[in-house]
Structure 1
């Protein structure tokens, strides 16, 4: 899967080589639900704008805010430096001679900055440009960002543009002495950007100081709070207290509202036409019943368990393939005869596995589509609240870029749907990237009859679900914590929901 994993590594290398590491995704304990039982987002990300002079300490203030917040949902620090416009050859020559004004508002692509920030605030994915300070040029590559509950945008012109100011929930201006800013700028540009001291001083006197006086300092009047560039611990504590309050107001209690109703009506469409139902159950043949008998038996050896899981996964994927669009194709057979057949009519197709219980379905997908790209999502339960948390996103390129995602078909893989909390979060994540709801096919071994499947179907009626069996029970219990952090309400335990009769912990039985 080179387009997924090698591309991610390449993006990381580019970011570290060509930028000052200002654009950062900081994850602590994951992103809680940002949507309601209807599947629609209920709250935007909380956006903070930090402005101030060059080398005033904006990035430092941003990182101190994150540090002071402690255990927080995912935070993105996004630098305005990424949005310098693409330069002509003449402009690049001037830049290398320190004769190009990077501190004027016209040097920054404000519209693109506002669009990317608006996408992140609305819980959508975005791809921000990568700018090389050594080459004085925007690169062809971009940096993928998604999943922030808190976004911090920092830059000298962060408060200059009215469209940007309208996106901020909190506006901050960092005030610092001019001599300190100059000293910091000399150290930074000589060490990190390969500039000479003479060039830094010339640029500062010609462009930086006049721009600060004319464009940057006047934006302080838009700030909600003025923060000193040093000795600012008190101000940062006030800011983080406000942020915590805002995040608490936006907290969702999601899982407990989506369980404990019957799935029977989900198998029957309102029109009476089985094709209108979004849930497809495999034909319960003696062969299929025999496979499930082997998989449910706790005495089944691991070798046999893996064999029959792979076999069942293949059957499920083959059934799911029937939901893809096909077109007519005419071929010539080895007997030199023309024959009319069918071929897939899709631009992009991929798999996304919900770690790690979705992993046992991957081999079945690869058996049916040998060259398919498979991404992953990690959704785990918060030990304190029982709510799902999005901890990890690694998606194929055809989903990471929205103009491709609109035409992509996705097989979403998970071992079972019990409360449906993980399924909800995974589907919402795909929709945030631009995947069409009717292009998502959820493939699973088991569905709990009294689980959250009814709410899932109500929220996402166009998502098709393929399952092999429907189990009658869903029992709430407490189990030992897998991680040492995030202890539950009863010591080292966390709340869990067990499908009965079920197949046990399918991922553990398959991998361990």
Structure 2
């Protein structure tokens, strides 16, 4: 079964029109940056829909006025902040044909006119990031004067800083900004900076730089860039701008505070369940529970035993995860298929019809299921999500997302079936965020199969099922309670523990 499934769904990168190498490419332009600080807090409500967009700052100014420096100073001065993306307009130069490329290498192509920039693409990518979706940003090579075939994947920002000379010139872009900034700098200083930058970083000669500046850069600044300062909310000097940056950071912190979403307290333990004498029946939770047999009961007995040896725990966890994934395969699409047996007889069977399948584990306890997953579905892409609780308020935070290529490309994601792996669903906060991430990438809700060992009946499962009714949840067993406790003793942070549970499954497995 597993070999046939793997052969059916494992598509090559060539099938997707991609290169073998999946790492981020090292090119001269590295302005598009994801700066991870303290993670991305929830951007959605209990119904599963988005309630907060990313906060977008537009930073415009003349060439070499210090826009990128201002953007990075804002990030530095914000202090305790969630994930930030700095998005450069330079990535969105239009692709040049052969004749235009020759003019560019001869410093005779006007890169400073608004027509040189693909504004609709810039606005579309920024709109996706603002709406908490993924985007694949073009990569531009200044040495080749050309947009490359490769793209850079960006996702998960709570703050986006879009910077470029025309960042305030286009009305589509201005509509997306929550704060508009113009960096004002002396023209002589901008020219000196441009010469230094283009010689050192872009391999240009001084005469070519000066010719291009006088012919294109200066007229464009006078005609398009400087007039766009009228749209700015704040003017920032190109040097000695610490006071202005402090004002911007104070404003951004205030806006982020206004957008904060106290998600975990509502998700943690539905009080009606704790107080009710008649909790929701298991059959109404919409779970797909592994059929109970003497074998599975025996496996769970060993796994729940705190005195079980480490070797036994690993062996039976791998065995149970294999059984769970095999059970979960029923939620892939199948069609009748006729084959001929070795003796020449035709027989009817079933064949998996989906093109793309991948797995995503929620670190670190979700990684415990990976060995069983690969035993059943061999040679398919695997990804990981790192979601941890904020130490101060216990809110879930997205700290890292390394998703398979099938999910990162939206046109492929809508055809992809994803097995989401985690050890258990207790409060449901991590499960909720993980599902929301997949939906943001375009994976259909009914293409997500969540596989776990345990589900807490009185935890967040009821809210999770109401928010995402079409997600298939496959579990080995259902525990009845969640109990309040303290992490690391009496003075530790309050946590909810599944009871009777299996303890900290990741810690026990990777001990």
TM over 0.5: yes
- 1:240-389 to 2 correspondence within 5 Å? 240-261=249-270, 262=273, 265=280, 267-269=282-284, 278-389=286-397
Q: In 1, distance between residues paired with 2:335 and 2:242?
A: 64
Report whether the alignment pairs 1:222 with 2:231. Answer: yes
Report whether the alignment pairs 1:66 with 2:65. Answer: no
Q: In 2, distance between residues paired with 1:267 and 1:212?
A: 66
Q: In 2, distance between residues paired with 1:403 and 1:205?
A: 44
Tell me, yes or no, if the aligned pair for 1:359 and 1:413 is still in contact at 8 Å: yes
Structure 1 match to 2:169: 160
Structure 2 match to 1:501: 500
1:9 deviates by 7.2
Structure 2 match to 1:206: 215
Q: In 2, distance between residues paired with 1:32 and 1:511?
A: 27
Q: In 1, distance between residues paired with 2:495 and 2:112?
A: 54
What secondary structure sits across from 1:100 in the alignment? coil
What secondary structure sits across from 1:454 in the alignment? helix
- 1:422-437 to 2 correspondence within 5 Å? 422-437=430-445
Structure 1: give runs of 5+ residues left out of the alignment. 270-276, 482-489
Choose which of 77, 86, 98 in structure 2 pairs with 1:77. 86
Structure 2 match to 1:410: 418
Choose which of 11, 14, 17 in structure 1 pairs with 2:27. 17
What secondary structure sits across from 2:365 in the alignment? coil
Tell me, yes or no, if the aligned pair for 2:282 and 2:457 is still in contact at 8 Å: no
1:266 deviates by 6.3
Tell me, yes or no, if the aligned pair for 1:354 and 1:378 is still in contact at 8 Å: yes
Tell me, yes or no, if the aligned pair for 1:305 and 1:510 is still in contact at 8 Å: yes
Q: In 2, distance between residues paired with 1:8 and 1:55?
A: 36
Structure 2 match to 1:458: 466
Q: In 1, distance between residues paired with 2:303 and 2:375?
A: 20
Tell me, yes or no, if the aligned pair for 1:355 and 1:378 is still in contact at 8 Å: yes
Tell me, yes or no, if the aligned pair for 2:268 and 2:429 is still in contact at 8 Å: no
Tell me, yes or no, if the aligned pair for 1:56 and 1:174 is still in contact at 8 Å: yes
Tell me, yes or no, if the aligned pair for 1:350 and 1:372 is still in contact at 8 Å: yes
Choose which of 119, 131, 138 in structure 2 pairs with 1:129. 138
1:243 deviates by 0.1
Q: In 2, distance between residues paired with 1:212 and 1:9?
A: 39
Tell me, yes or no, if the aligned pair for 1:266 and 1:279 is still in contact at 8 Å: no
Coordinate RMSD, CA, aligned? 1.8
Structure 1 match to 2:181: 172
What secondary structure sits across from 1:322 in the alignment? helix
Structure 2 match to 1:272: none
Report whether the alignment pairs 1:440 with 2:448. Answer: yes
1:259 deviates by 3.1
Structure 2 match to 1:393: 401
The superposition leaves residues 46-83 of structure 1 with CA deviations (integer Å, 9 ceiling, x where unpaired) of 00000000000000000000000011000000000000
Tell me, yes or no, if the aligned pair for 1:18 and 1:130 is still in contact at 8 Å: no
Q: In 1, distance between residues paired with 2:450 and 2:213?
A: 57
Q: In 2, distance between residues paired with 1:495 and 1:388?
A: 14
Q: How many residues were matched structurally? A: 492
